[in-house]
DNA sequence: TATTGTTATACTCTATAACTATA
DNA sequence: TATAGTTATAGAGTATAACAATA
């Protein structure tokens, strides 16, 4: 199948020329691949990336308000409502009144919600582990280190560790 | 503004705990930030990331068929049609008959299309440069090096994995 | 019969504005 | 007045099936 390989090489050359000088393209492509892996892992638990993230926050020792969820996940408050409605409808989270602010509602996971989250997190970790298996542990740590300032830019209160070159 | 800082620190802690052990979250977040930068740069040229990518491929020395565009960009062929219709309607690309396959159509940029692409590429590069300015040149190179195998899995050169679901 | 391009459709995700109740 | 949550809606992106022309 020489013709097949030639066609593959052609496509690879097109892709390479497209990526050249466009790191964002690489970022986007790696992201969709990663997303596909985690989404597939979450499907068995009836969750998507959004509902999983909201559930994770609701499991936090210091549970957040919906506004905080919107801020942390960079979602519009109206989108948070939709996700929370779904999770609450399935008995995974509750909206509790905020003692310090009558407008605000605190999101807390139910015991069933925590159970679902524990299992989902396990499977997500396994899926991510499989996805990043091409990289060594040191490389993964380095990737995280490089991505963090890009993911949390500007007014980030947490210090960004300066790099140690290889 | 102590209360503000406390609230920020709280949100940061929530985000940190969410990211912990979830490299995909960092990837997704860095991607949306990068996307926002490039999308803003493309807007002045009447382009979006998709149409920009298709136009870039149409400017290639060895112009691709629509099928090849779909493969390289991992888009469904029907989605390629929509983008090409738009670009062709604005006189930026042409659909030429493929001499070797009557079913196929070769995408070629017009001279105006090449002009638009040149200017757009310049602005995109500048926007990416600004976005990645937090990293040194060496760090950017290292990031690209780490992202590449994740974006282009080695075992098969041009995988068109649709949503892999059971 | 298989493939390229096309059309149509439906579903998800995202963005926005307007409303309520509290502050 | 300003903010948290809610509702409603429109747009963009995505997935899928079916079809015509060609292989």
Residue A162 has pLDDT above 80, yes or no: no
Show the beta-strand stretches assigned E in A20-161: 93-98, 101-109
Alpha-carbon distance B118 to A28, whole Å? 22
Q: What is the pLDDT of residue B6?
A: 84
Residue B162 has pLDDT above 70, yes or no: no
CB B158 within 8 Å of CB A11: yes
Q: What is the pLDDT of residue A160?
A: 28
- The answer to whether A123 contacts chain B (CB < 8 Å) is no
Alpha-carbon distance A70 to B8, whole Å? 13
Q: Would you say the C-beta of A104 is within 7 Å of strand C?
A: no
Q: Would you say the C-beta of B115 is within 7 Å of strand D?
A: no
End-to-end CA distance of chain B: 52
Q: CA–C1' distance B122–D18 (Å)? A: 42
Name the residue facing B35 among A28, A72, A166 (closest C-beta): A28
Task: Note the pLDDT tens digit of each residue in B45-103.
Answer: 999 999 999 999 999 999 999 999 999 999 999 999 999 999 999 999 999 999 999 99
Cβ contacts from A onto B, under 8 A? 187
Least confident stretch, B11-15, B27-31, B150-154: B150-154
Residue B165 has pLDDT above 60, yes or no: no
Residue B163 has pLDDT above 50, yes or no: no
The residue assigned the tokens 């090449």 is B114
User: Could you give phi then psi for residue B134, rounded to 5 degrees?
Assistant: -65, -25
The residue assigned the tokens 């097109």 is A14
Q: Would you say the C-beta of B76 is within 7 Å of strand D?
A: yes
User: Are B56 and A18 within 8 A, CB to CB?
Assistant: yes
Which stretches within B20-135 are classed as H helix? 23-43, 49-58, 66-73, 77-89, 111-131
Task: Note the pLDDT tens digit of each residue in A22-33.
Answer: 899 999 999 999
Residue A21 pLDDT grade (very low, low, confident, very high; cuts 50, 70, 90) = confident
| Least Cα separation, residue A119 to chain B (angstroms) | 15
CB A152 within 8 Å of CB A62: no
Least confident stretch, A120-124, B24-28, B118-122, B158-162: B158-162
Residues of A in contact with B60 (CB under 8 A): 14, 17
User: Which of A25, A27, A149 has the most B C-beta neighbours within 10 Å, making it the best mutation to test the interface with B?
Assistant: A27
Alpha-carbon distance B106 to B97, whole Å? 6
Q: DSSP state, B101? A: E
Q: Would you say the C-beta of B78 is within 7 Å of strand C?
A: yes
- What tokens does A26 get? 């690489």
- The answer to whether A132 contacts chain B (CB < 8 Å) is yes
Check the CA dihedral B51-B56-B60-B64 and report its sign: negative
Q: CA–C1' distance A54–C11 (Å)? A: 22
User: Are B11 and A57 within 8 A, CB to CB?
Assistant: no
pTM of the shown model: 0.90
- Distance, CA of A52 to chain centre: 9
User: Could you give phi then psi for residue A126, rounded to 5 degrees?
Assistant: -65, -40
Residue B148 has pLDDT above 90, yes or no: yes
| Mean of all residue pLDDT scores within chain A | 89
Alpha-carbon distance B72 to B108, whole Å? 16
């Amino acid at each position: 199948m020489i013709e097949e390989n030639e066609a593959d090489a052609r496509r690879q050359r097109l892709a390479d020329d497209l990526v050249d000088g466009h790191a964002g393209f690489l970022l986007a492509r790696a992201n969709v691949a990663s997303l596909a892996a985690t989404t597939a892992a979450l499907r068995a638990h009836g969750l998507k990336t959004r509902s999983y993230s909201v559930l994770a926050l609701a499991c936090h020792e210091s549970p957040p308000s919906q506004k905080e969820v919107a801020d942390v996940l960079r979602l519009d408050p109206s989108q948070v409502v939709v996700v929370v409605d779904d999770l609450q409808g399935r008995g995974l989270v509750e909206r509790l009144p905020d003692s310090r602010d009558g407008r605000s509602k605190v999101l807390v996971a139910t015991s069933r919600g925590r159970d679902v989250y524990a299992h989902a997190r396990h499977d997500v970790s396994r899926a991510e582990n499989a996805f990043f298996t091409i990289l060594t542990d040191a490389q993964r740590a380095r990737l995280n280190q490089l991505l963090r300032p890009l993911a949390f830019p500007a007014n980030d209160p947490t210090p960004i560790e300066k790099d140690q070159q290889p």
